[in-house]
């Protein structure tokens, strides 16, 4: 079978959270491992033990499995500094 896989529509979801920006960033980014479901990861035969987002802008977003393997998901693109809004999420080209 030849051809390309059809593009799927983007999933866009918004949730309004009644908390200061810095608190939200700390919970959802710095606390990523506390709320991301363990069963939602790449690779069916992996037993993921930790989800990490490194604290600095440009830091890696990745998972660690029980055997010490690492799967890099992406890069941290923003940070919260008091009185400054985080950078917008980059829009994919295409």
Q: Is residue 54 part of a domain?
A: yes
- Domain count along the chain: 1
DSSP 13-82: ------S-HHHHHIIIIITHHHHS-TT-SS-TT--EEEEEE-SSTT-EEEEEETTS-EEEEEE-----BT
Q: Is residue 52 part of a domain?
A: yes
Which is higher by pLDDT, 24 or 2? 24
User: Each residue of 41-93: pLDDT tens digit?
Assistant: 766 777 888 888 887 878 888 888 888 888 888 887 766 555 555 555 555 55
Q: Is residue 51 part of a domain?
A: yes
Q: Is residue 42 part of a domain?
A: no
Q: Is residue 66 part of a domain?
A: yes
Q: Is residue 24 part of a domain?
A: no
Q: Name residues whose C-beta falls within 8 Å of residue 90's C-beta, 6 or more positions apart in sequence.
A: 77
* 29: confidence class by pLDDT, cuts 50, 70, 90: confident
Q: Is residue 74 part of a domain?
A: yes
Q: Is residue 6 part of a domain?
A: no
CA distance 55 to 37: 20
pTM (predicted TM-score): 0.59
Structural domain harbouring 51: 47-85
3-state secondary structure of 88: coil
């Amino acid at each position: 079978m030849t051809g390309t896989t059809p593009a799927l529509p983007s999933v866009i979801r918004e949730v309004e959270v009644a908390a200061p920006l810095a608190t939200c960033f700390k919970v959802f980014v710095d606390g990523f491992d506390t709320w991301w479901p363990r069963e939602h990861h790449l690779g069916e035969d992996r037993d993921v033990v930790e989800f990490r987002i490194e604290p600095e802008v440009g830091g890696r977003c990745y998972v660690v499995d029980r055997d010490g393997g690492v799967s890099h998901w992406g890069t941290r693109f923003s940070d919260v500094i008091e009185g400054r809004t985080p950078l917008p999420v980059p829009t994919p080209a295409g």
